[in-house]
Structure 1
Amino acid sequence: MDDQARVLKFQIFRYNPQKKGDKPRMVTYEITEAPGMTIFIALNEIRETQDPSLQFDFVCRAGICGSCAMVINGQPDLACRTLTAKFPDGEIKLLPLPGFELIGDLSVNTGKFMRAMSERVESWIHDKEADLVNYDELEERMDPDVADEIYELERCVECGACVSACATKRMRPDFLSAVGFMRLARFALDPRDKRTDEEFYEIMGNDDGVFGCMTLLGCEDYCPKDLPHQTQIAYLRRKMALIR
């Protein structure tokens, strides 16, 4: 063991809503830092060596699935790509993402929210003539610049960080939030989607949609994928304003 290795002090939110009599609390754990250690690696070590009951989420461990999002020292981020070396004093406080149903400890049900959002914005390509399509024919070519724009929006991993960082969402529970706007912008850009601007307006042309955004930039500041949330919200606002 490296004699110079730091001892990290983790303060972790603990609460199991399914356990009768359990109460929210912060529990402190100490572990020795390893080179290249991430919050995710540290949590695994805590669970393996100190407390097997600790709950947190992960799937890919590569910043792609978005499952391990949590509040790290006051900021929403992905545990699998946050290095412990980022914190000079070695003190790290972990909380579950606010705005989502708590499963237990650091685990929240983002899937429930994301499914409801997906159904609300009808996030599939709408082609009114789909029944007439000859599937033996090649799909019509898409302009490469448009394809690049769509790909940029498809990088969203639906981690929920933008939802948790959104003050508007805290005040207005039905607010669509940045992840929903990103999804809508993706389909509004796609030439294969035959929905009219009026149909998009029905989904987001109100105070629970793009006109309710207070532009506080929390979504863009804390997006782990550095997506252009405000650019897309402005794009959708201009698009809806022309109908209004």
Structure 2
Amino acid sequence: MNQPPIKVLASDRSSSGTTQLFTLEVLRCNPLDESEQAYWQSYCVELTEGMTLFIALSEIREQQDPSLQFDFVCRAGICGSCGMLINGRPGLACRTLLSSLQSPTRLAPLPGFALIGDLSVDTGRWMRAMSERLQIWVDGAATERDPCEVEEPMEPSLAEDIYELDRCIECGCCVAACGTAQMRDDFVGAVGLNKLARLRLDPRDDRDDAAFYELIGDDDGVFGCMSLLGCEDVCPKDLSLGTQIAYLRRAMLREAL
């Protein structure tokens, strides 16, 4: 189906003296207004030392266009709210320095998630559905463990391995960079498979391997991954997502044998 043409609007702002300006081209879209076509809108900000993309967008919303929609919470690369496409590559606005980009830079919402407006997408709905589907929680019900019972000591090396995988901030960048996720709505993505790999390491979870592998042993799980490693390339926490998917595949093979 032919897409309607995208129009380009430019905000009027002139430079003066030696002030260095940086241009951001933002894909504007209001999904609640079916009559409105998506369009690129240009904004200019005064480039300052250490300015991040998040700071630039905040300045635009405060001083130029209060209607611009984008998300943020922590501003420190922890919450994952400010994920977006930066020149076609998924990334976090709060972790991206303007000095690392070329002017003009184009910004668009992450694909694969419901669009709220402009750069704002609903990653929470997707992440919750994935978590409920894969049952991403420590399940000690098999032994009717008392929640007040003191846990058995864990080897520091094992605790470190579990913590490493638990650094995922559910920003959605890996989903947006995944070819399979863009083609298959039911694919759990690297974020889901990483969380399941973490649970397999956790001795506090009492589920057997078969219960886990039943959830991901098809094309919507580990066998849907095309091993392009786009997820690992864009992960802001540098998690070894491809390694975890390979780990789950090998574990399923051992179970089958």
| Cα deviation, residue 133, structure 1 | 2.3
> Aligned to 1:172, which of 175, 184, 190?
184
1:32 corresponds to which letter in structure 2? E
Is the Cα–Cα contact under 8 Å of residues 6 and 90 in structure 1 kept in the other structure?
A: no
1:16-41 alpha-carbon deviations (Å, 9 max, x no partner) = 11135222111111111111100000
- Give secondary structure in 2 for the equivalent of 1:94: strand
SS in 1 for 2:141: coil
Q: Alignment partner for residue 150 of structure 2, among 138, 148, 159?
A: 138
Q: Deviations over 1:1-58 (max 9, x none)?
A: x954421111001011113522211111111111110000000111111110000000
Structure 2: distance between partners of 1:45 and 1:180: 35
Distance in 1 between the 2:166 and 2:19 partners? 40
Q: Distance in 1 between matches of 2:46 and 2:147?
A: 61
| 1:232 paired residue number | 244
Does 2:88 match 1:94? no
Aligned AA (2:118): D
- Note if contact 1:215-1:230 (Cα within 8 Å) is conserved in structure 2: yes
One-letter amino acid matched to 2:75? R
Size of the aligned set, in residue pairs, is 242
The answer for the alignment partner of 2:9 in structure 1 is none
Amino acid at match of 1:66: G
- Report the counterpart of residue 162 of structure 1 in structure 2: 174
Query: For residues 19 and 82 of structure 1, what CA distance do their matches in structure 2 show?
Result: 31
Q: CA deviation at 1:101?
A: 0.4
Matched with 1:210 is 222
* Structure 1 residue 167: Cα displacement: 0.5
Cα deviation digits, residues 66-97 of structure 1 (max 9, x gap) = 0000000111000001000002x421100000
Aligned 8 A contact 1:17 1:103 in 2: yes
Tell me, yes or no, if the aligned pair for 2:142 and 2:207 is still in contact at 8 Å: no
CA shift for structure 1 position 242 = 2.0
**Conserved? CA contact 1:5–1:34, under 8 Å:** no
Equivalent residue of 1:173, what SS? coil
Aligned-residue sequence identity (percent) comes to 57
CA–CA separation in structure 1 for the residues paired with 2:33 and 2:20: 35
1:133-155, Cα deviation, whole Å (9 max, x unpaired) = 272x4210111111001100111
Partner residue of 1:22 out of 18, 36, 39: 36
Q: 2:210 aligns with which of 190, 198, 210?
A: 198
Distance (Å, rounded) in 2 between the aligned partners of 1:4 and 1:161: 37
Rounded to whole Å, the distance in 2 between the matches of 1:241 and 1:32 is 56
**RMSD, matched Cα:** 1.6
2:194 corresponds to: 182
Structure 1 unaligned residues grouped into runs of 5+: none
Q: Tell me the alpha carbon deviations over residues 163-213 of structure 1, each in whole angstroms, 9 at most, x when there is no partner.
A: 000001112211111000111011111001011110011111111110111
Q: Unaligned regions of 5+ residues in structure 2, if any?
A: 1-15
TM-score in terms of structure 2 length: 0.90
| Secondary structure in structure 1 of the residue aligned to 2:144 | helix
Structure 2 counterpart of 1:173, one-letter code: D
